[in-house]
Structure 1
């Protein structure tokens, strides 16, 4: 007969594996693989990579962020994981494990890669990148439902002004926060609707670098996504997002 403790552990592991399966089955938001750095099948780097992913998942669970290194010399893997600031620790763990498995499929033999999911981001490299703000590995993604084609927003131009105000407030809150994370709602005065947003930076960079990273994200959103009902920028050091629906987990 199984003890209550063993039954609880079995249930927890089963739940994590099921969530990991669902996350792996979903395509990531984006992935970027290095084309200049590769390792061979018998390279220690390849053996250390899955160990790194397990280490990140374990370390990130309590706080949603982790750094780590496994191995030595040419086989050394440096890794970073960031979970969205509102997700539960169990979801954070399973997302990192799923992202770690998926990135090895998407970027086989690559010594440097990054993958983004809705709930987490995982990055690894043979180079020591901790503490260096990454402004290069970022991309914008807009909500495909354009505000001009919906009845939910009567004045898209006015919405752009509200979006700009929300993003500025999020930036100013996030870069001074110990968690490097901010979320906020803003009433847009249109049928009592609200605008929802988040801003987040990796905790290895300074507050000043976080501010610069979020400013760059705001500029990308301005260029790509005016008039859109929702959009985001994800990157190697910061993320920013706004929507016309409550997308954060407040449970």
Structure 2
């Protein structure tokens, strides 16, 4: 179909229609398996076409989607050409879908329509990601520029368009434009290459390279020309022309609004964490008191231990000379397990009183400690609590009978 159409247009170049939005140039409309009025396919198609204008506007002038399910599901695609301005693009996005099914291709289940400012496709099978390298139409443009060397034009044009085809294939928007000097021409040669954004880089490159090859065959020494298809588009001319890049998608802002809720969650969790520490500090204060209570107990136990030695020195008060002799037996007493039991038995009844009672005799024996160095440690701790009353001194006579 493409080659036949190309020949026809080449033989008789004609100006574009007055309203080339409502009437696309040479649309491709299927003629078999058409839908009938009122069936589910028509309803799904109407739903899809109704969503296309807004969806494409919010997505940088490009949209691909579907409506319905099963055998009646409809798939569609629409995109603006980059050499048209925003007003022309929006007009095509709005009026193209509104008239295609009713007046251009009524009843067709598959339609490919290339307008002056946009391309529109829909079918009962996926159209996204499938390259269609068929040529919709050729555009011959007489710029009025004088070219002294047609060969130089061909070289400059081919080199430029080859470069743009490679660049567009890997660009995010699948668009590339630029210019190059042309020997023998007063102005540079400008060019543009574009693919629908659903195409993979390899598919886009293949489609554009095929179109670039056609430029030399079809346009010869024409100073301007374009090849429009349903998946790719190339254009060149001596002298500049406008290229309008699609605006950024309108969808990112909502995505950016999502993060704020996330930060809101962390502030709530820290308070509970901070609430937990207070109980922890409350526990330490309670534990120290018990610890402080323990020390008093430990001092009380030493007195009973020191209380055992005093009974031995208690003998000296009655007879100082024997006191010196007594120390030797004292070392022998520790080995015998019999003497400690009595001493330990004495403290239980009234451990505090005996402890306090023993100290008084200690002050009376200061002269003896120098004579017996080993036994001096016990008297020293006894000397520190000299606050005991003399009353217990009356009980001292009882110890002598023990030995």
TM class by smaller structure = 0.7 to 0.9
- Paired residue for 2:182? 188
Q: Distance in 1 between matches of 2:216 and 2:99?
A: 31
Residues 187-219 of structure 1, C-alpha deviations (whole Å, 9 max, x = no match): 224453122211111111211111111111112
Check the 8 A contact 1:142/1:228 in 2, yes or no: no
Residues 24-71 of structure 1, C-alpha deviations (whole Å, 9 max, x = no match): 45x423311112231111222222223212322112114121101011
Q: How does 1:239-250 map to 2 (within 5 A)?
A: 239-249=233-243
User: Taking structure 1 as reference, are residues 140 and 165 closer, same or farther at Cα in structure 2, changes over 3 Å only?
Assistant: farther
Is it true that 1:123 corresponds to 2:121 in the alignment? yes
Q: Distance in 2 between matches of 1:197 and 1:176?
A: 17
TM-score relative to the length of structure 1: 0.80
Query: Displacement of 1:86 after TM fit?
Result: 5.5
Q: Distance in 1 between matches of 2:140 and 2:198?
A: 30
* Secondary structure at the counterpart of residue 119 of structure 2: strand
RMSD over equivalenced CA pairs, Å = 2.4
Is it true that 1:92 corresponds to 2:89 in the alignment? yes
Residues 131-183 of structure 1, C-alpha deviations (whole Å, 9 max, x = no match): 12222x324414153x8xx5622222221111101111111210111111011
- Structure 1 stretch displaced more, 80-89 or 39-48: 80-89
Q: Distance in 2 between matches of 1:176 and 1:40?
A: 42
Check the 8 A contact 1:55/1:68 in 2, yes or no: no
- Paired residue for 2:207? 213
Is it true that 1:45 corresponds to 2:77 in the alignment? no
Q: Distance in 2 between matches of 1:178 and 1:201?
A: 11
Structure 1: runs of 5 or more not aligned: 1-20
Which is strand-richer, 1 or 2?
Answer: 1
Q: Distance in 2 between matches of 1:53 and 1:198?
A: 29
TM-score relative to the length of structure 2: 0.52
- Structure 1 stretch displaced more, 154-163 or 164-173: 154-163
Q: Distance in 2 between matches of 1:75 and 1:196?
A: 45
Q: Distance in 1 between matches of 2:111 and 2:178?
A: 31
- Paired residue for 2:30? 34
* Secondary structure at the counterpart of residue 216 of structure 1: helix
Q: Distance in 2 between matches of 1:109 and 1:181?
A: 33
Is it true that 1:110 corresponds to 2:108 in the alignment? yes
* Secondary structure at the counterpart of residue 68 of structure 1: strand
Is it true that 1:157 corresponds to 2:151 in the alignment? yes
Stretches (4+) displaced over 6 A: none
Structure 2: runs of 5 or more not aligned: 1-17, 246-403
Query: Displacement of 1:221 after TM fit?
Result: 1.9
Q: Distance in 1 between matches of 2:222 and 2:45?
A: 39
* Secondary structure at the counterpart of residue 157 of structure 1: helix
Q: Distance in 1 between matches of 2:180 and 2:27?
A: 31
- Paired residue for 1:101? 98
The number of aligned residues is 226
- Paired residue for 1:202? 196
- Paired residue for 2:132? 134
